[in-house]
Structure 1
Amino acid sequence: MRQGGQPNMQKLMLQAQQMQQKLAAAQAALAEAELTGTSGGGLVTVTVSGSGEFRKVTIDPKAVDPDDIETLEDLVLAAITNASEGVRKLTEQKMGPLSAGLGGGMGLPF
């Protein structure tokens, strides 16, 4: 209920608390998630948390050619890029609905 054109502060505080709880839950889900990026048909695999922490790099010995380090570097970079894209998509999925509600969802002028 508005009084004199002002938003109901109690309602706004409740909505802010609910949004904070949803945000914390989404952040926790991201931190627990693990995504894998691969390249070279699985020759290089990178594991990263949903919060962006790289946890593991696996390189198949078949990818290691001392006379062609550049290809291995490219494979590692491609796997990292692939894993990072997975993190971006997961973050968008988990956080997108929360950020969409910030605009006017709480009656705040954004």
Structure 2
Amino acid sequence: MNPGDGGMDMQALLQQAQQMQQQLLEAQQQLDEAQVEGTSGGGLVKVSVNGRGQVEDITIDPSTIDVEDTAETAQTLSDLVLAAIRDAESSVEELQQEKMGPLAEGLGGMPGAGGMPGAGGMPGAGGMPGLSGS
């Protein structure tokens, strides 16, 4: 066994880890810059979120408001907003999987890579904080 071979393997592993870290940072930057829209009621309610799932804007079409039945309107709006958020959540999860999934797969059996299904334990890669339906 040649002691130099182990050093080369360690150097290659270190370079691979640095490369993956750079790819992770780039993917997180892309998620930060991404905008995803969820809609409900045929577009009456729109929710804009960033790629990390943080709600940035909610737009409600004024035609959804019935001034003669405010209680029903309030319930309808609540349902539509919730449906639009869930639609956006689904889109963000797809985007996150697209951007982060290949990196999580690349981690394979690396120590500390587990913890979040589909995210390889990477912070900020799984789910949408504050928007889960439960």
What TM-score, normalized by structure 2, do the two folds share?
A: 0.72
Q: Which runs of 5+ in 2 are unaligned?
A: 114-134
Offset at residue 55 of structure 1 (A): 0.6
Shift of 1:41: 0.4
| Superimposed CA distance per residue, residues 87-108 of structure 1 (whole angstroms, 9 cap, x where no aligned partner) | 100000000000011115xxx4
Which residue in the other structure is 2:123 paired with?
Answer: none
Aligned identity (percent) is 53
Which residue of 1 is the match for residue 82 of structure 2? 77
**Per chain length, whose mean CA-contact separation is higher, i.e. which structure has more relative contact order (CA < 8 Å, sep 6+)?**
1
* Secondary structure in 1 matching 2:107: coil
Secondary structure in 2 matching 1:76:
helix
By how many angstroms is 1:6 displaced? 5.2
Q: Which stretch of structure 1 is more off in the superposition, 66-75 or 93-102?
A: 66-75
After TM superposition, the runs of 4+ consecutive aligned structure 1 residues lying more than 6 A away are none
Distance 1:80 1:72 in 2: 12
Q: Which moved more, 1:65-74 or 1:21-30?
A: 65-74
- Residue number among 46, 70, 87 corresponding to 2:92 in the alignment: 87
**TM-superposition CA deviations, 1:30-84 (whole Å, max 9, x none):** 0000000000000000000001111100000111231412111100000000011
Letter in 1 for 2:100: M
Q: TM-score, normalization: structure 1?
A: 0.87
The residue correspondences of 1:9-88 to structure 2 (distance < 5 A) are: 9-65=10-66, 66-68=70-72, 69-88=74-93
Number of aligned positions between the proteins: 106
Structure 1 unaligned regions, length at least 5: none
